[in-house]
Structure 1
Amino acid sequence: MLDTFDPQNVKSLINGEAVSSQTTSDILSPHSGKAIAKLHHGGADEVEKAIAAAKAAQKAWADTPAVQRGQILHAACNLIEARAEELSKIVAEEAGKPLSAAMGETTGSVMCGRFYAGEGQRLFGRTMPSGAPNKSCMTVRQPCGVAALIAAANTPAPNFAWKVFPALICGNAVVLKPAEDTPLSADWMARALIEAGVPAGVMNVVQGLGQEVGPPLTAHKDVDVISFTGSTRVGREIAGKAGADLKKVSLELGGKNAFIVCDDADIEKAVHWASLSAFSNAGQRCASGSRFIVMDAVYDKFVDAFVAKANSLKAGVGDDCELGPVINERQLNNMLSAIERAKGEGAKVLCGGERIGGDLAGGFYLQATLIEGSPADSHLSTTELFGPVGAIYKVSSFEEAVALANDSPYGLTGTIHTTSWDRAWTFTKELSTGVAVVNAGTFGSEPHMPFGGLRASGNGTREPGTEALDVYTELKDIYLITEPGRL
């Protein structure tokens, strides 16, 4: 199946067949701004065909023993690993990353796939005692049916793995809508799964723009479960429409994650992790650090070192580069507008704040940007920008720092830098987020651990980890009644 992969024309993949469209657009390299391929736009017709193919193929896939489904997913992981450099080059080009970073993401996607392949041997239910004689009670997991999966562009290979592998191991058939900025890797990975033995109708990909594919996909009557990663605004729209039909939905949305620096912190270590949290992957992580809350006793020392570090970052996509481009020009312009708005409200730009020119002028590069003086309720403080922009705040105490960290519409991740065990442990309990970290970055979730947040960061579900099995399966109670007298 990979032999038919076309890196110049990205089409929907439905029931194993590439589907062309008369409407196409250029896929642009974030690094250069130049076209690297053509995207064929799917729409309602392609969605209808993909869901029909998925529905027709799903029962046979569900009837395949879960252990055998796991063996097929293991084979897919082996294939991806054997051709890791090929996939990584695709990710690096379409997402604007150093090849080394893309290789790391490919490795992460394989780790995730192998974890879920192993879950084919552990799709546990429970047995429980009954309160009645001669009665046995148990639960079993059954697939939901057709899964509509919508992935983000920031880490395309892991994002594919986080959604597709758990959906498949549970016995669902998949219709995936990748981000229109990073469709090549999704097409490649879907073909790898089919080549490894996933039935063609079980793994479908509809390419195209969000507004053309998303609504008909999520609203379709034959979709049984929806998983979406993306903006809070779109997540709310999906949740509202899915709620009307009582569809099962998992939402992993934005973050405005706090990075607390205490007066007893190792400043050098804190600056290292602050830079990675704010600027690695060009700040394009829902778990990126974007609010830096610093105690007044070390404020000047930390800020001076953080600004110096930000100014030293090398921009580009070489393996020695530390600051890449954002995914497209629209996102870049949104960030520039937010920076100007903050300045107009009295905030001070400590470094960055402008588009990078020179040899990188054609790409979508923003300088590493740090801003101080924005109120906690300002647009900059409460809006996820999804780029290399951090806001810095001064506080006088641990209690004030945690209160400010929790004063957010989001609740995804947060970290604290301190040498005090008491502060660290209290922080992990009092931070109102789904993830809490001590003495590291705001990011770094692992494929066997649950990830998700509170409030505007999600609807309470968790992916990946074994918790994703709750998203992609339905529990059924089974009661067995026996009559010993008839033995």
Structure 2
Amino acid sequence: VLAASRAQPEWAAMTPVARGDLLREAALLMRERREQFAEIVSLETGKSRKDALGETGAAVEMGLFVAGEGRRFYGKTTTSAVLHRTALVVRQPLGVAGLIIAANTPVANVAWKAYPALLCGNTAVMKASEDTPATAWAVAKAFDEVGIPPGVFNVVQGFGTEAGAPLVEHPDVDLISFTGSCGVGRQIQATAGARLAKVCMELGGKNPLIICDDADLDRAVTAAALSAFSNAGQRCASGSRLIVFDAVYDRVRERLLEYTRGLTLGSGDEDDLGPVINERQLDTMVAAVDRARQGGATVLIGGGRMSDDEHRNGFYMMPTLLEGASATDEISQAELFGPIACLYRVADFEEALALANASPFGLTAAIHTANIDRGMTFLSRIKSGVASINGATYGSEPHMPFGGLRQSGTGWREAGTEALDVYSDWKTIYINADPAAV
């Protein structure tokens, strides 16, 4: 924090264009070394090199987009009621940003926060996930190599209590941007909020995907399965609640089961999903499925840890589908962050929408329908920060804002130009002129 504080004035004194140029060089270096970055991500997370390359590409795209915003660092000029007065608004940096990230998509998570934080003239201290420490270090090394000054981007390693908590508590850290669980988020909000620091949180979701009776079932089932199982379900935007009209429920269930039976688990490019990040997460998932089963839900497929010779030494959760859980059951309300989804049978659109909104979260949502009126009604009434028609629950793009309602976050958006609002503040300026003095 001391290094970041010392480096911040000089970094902020550079123009946004100059900062953006350096960040562009960093993104291009990451692109050049994408194979090396993908290797690190694959080794740390167990995901395939193919998926790790895709994630690295997303990080590069985020960097390139944000770097371009250095030339579009817009403020606002407006009129004044006072004669000969000009009124304008400009962005200003906050100071030192504390960035705390999750392990699910480690290189993308670094880019998501680091690039906009630095573009806005802040310096940063990033607390990397203890499960993926090398990825954040590799990005920091790339920043250093392109000439970003020492102290501008710093990485600390360790567990939350020893590395994250001191960052949140530090009086010289002006902003905390956190991605992770609701439980930890509440602790951060209480601690950082007590000293009136700015806090941005992205806390996850229990995202619904509705399949209507007029949906293209092939497309809908593929989107549902990818939403539930890709990246081993380790997405805040994963689709874990699959809400299906009664008229097509049996067909959807059978197609989903067929799809799930065909999935292969492993770290190879030929595999569909890899392990979850650690044994603690795996045990939490297995216990939650067991409680759901004891509560009356039916496990249609999966439900436990992979125990065969090929997988028993890894943290592999079987792709799992359940049905028969109520909307208020733990399995329907709590984010599990793994390849687990519940099927729900509904009579019609109104019941589907009510069930979709019956969640403490509000991050993403999707509907599959051929009816434009039904789709537009869904978009206007679904309580989520992101909504999709005939697509998956995930798939955000760097130039579009991403974030959620309710327990999914604190209202900020951490992509698109809206990310600049997280990492900067506004300064209102009045300039008074006297034409008689010309």
TM over 0.5: yes
Residue 148 (structure 2) pairs with residue 222 (structure 1):
no
Which of 408, 418, 427 is the equivalent residue of 1:467?
A: 418
Structure 2 counterpart of 1:447: 398
Distance in 1 (CA, whole Å) between partners of 2:337 and 2:146 is 35
Structure 2 counterpart of 1:278: 228
Structure 2 counterpart of 1:209: 159
Distance in 2 (CA, whole Å) between partners of 1:70 and 1:353 is 47
Unaligned ranges ≥5, structure 2? none
Distance in 1 (CA, whole Å) between partners of 2:141 and 2:173 is 22
Residue 54 (structure 2) pairs with residue 101 (structure 1):
no
Contact 2:94 2:424 in 1 (8 A): yes
Structure 1 counterpart of 2:340: 389
Structure 1 counterpart of 2:279: 329
Per-residue CA distance 1:149-172 (angstroms, 9 max, x = gap) = 001100011100000000000010
Instruction: Specify the code of the residue in structure 2 equivalent to 1:339.
Output: V
Distance in 2 (CA, whole Å) between partners of 1:139 and 1:242 is 27
Residue 155 (structure 2) pairs with residue 155 (structure 1):
no
Residue 196 (structure 2) pairs with residue 243 (structure 1):
no
The Cα of 1:323 is off from its aligned counterpart by 2.0
Distance in 1 (CA, whole Å) between partners of 2:426 and 2:68 is 20
The Cα of 1:432 is off from its aligned counterpart by 0.3
Distance in 1 (CA, whole Å) between partners of 2:46 and 2:382 is 33
The Cα of 1:469 is off from its aligned counterpart by 0.4
Which of 365, 386, 401 is the equivalent residue of 2:352?
A: 401
Secondary structure in 1 matching 2:65: helix
Secondary structure in 1 matching 2:414: coil
- Percent identity between the aligned chains? 54
The Cα of 1:240 is off from its aligned counterpart by 1.4
The Cα of 1:394 is off from its aligned counterpart by 0.5
Which of 296, 300, 308 is the equivalent residue of 2:246?
A: 296
Where does 1:81-480 land on structure 2 (aligned, <5 Å)? 81-358=31-308, 359-480=310-431
Distance in 2 (CA, whole Å) between partners of 1:269 and 1:78 is 35
Secondary structure in 1 matching 2:151: helix
Distance in 1 (CA, whole Å) between partners of 2:136 and 2:116 is 16
Secondary structure in 1 matching 2:396: coil
Distance in 2 (CA, whole Å) between partners of 1:115 and 1:268 is 34
Contact 2:210 2:243 in 1 (8 A): yes
The Cα of 1:366 is off from its aligned counterpart by 0.8
The Cα of 1:66 is off from its aligned counterpart by 1.1
Distance in 1 (CA, whole Å) between partners of 2:168 and 2:110 is 18
Distance in 1 (CA, whole Å) between partners of 2:411 and 2:260 is 34
Aligned positions, number: 437
Secondary structure in 2 matching 1:360: coil
Distance in 2 (CA, whole Å) between partners of 1:271 and 1:325 is 23
Distance in 2 (CA, whole Å) between partners of 1:303 and 1:440 is 18
Structure 2 counterpart of 1:57: 7
Contact 2:210 2:368 in 1 (8 A): yes
- Extract structure 1 runs of 4+ deviating beyond 6 A: none
Distance in 1 (CA, whole Å) between partners of 2:420 and 2:29 is 24
Provide the TM-score with structure 1 as the length reference: 0.89
Distance in 1 (CA, whole Å) between partners of 2:86 and 2:392 is 48
Distance in 2 (CA, whole Å) between partners of 1:66 and 1:408 is 41
The Cα of 1:176 is off from its aligned counterpart by 0.2
The Cα of 1:325 is off from its aligned counterpart by 0.6
Query: Could you say what the CA RMSD is over the residues aligned between the two structures, in angstroms?
Result: 0.7
The Cα of 1:83 is off from its aligned counterpart by 0.9
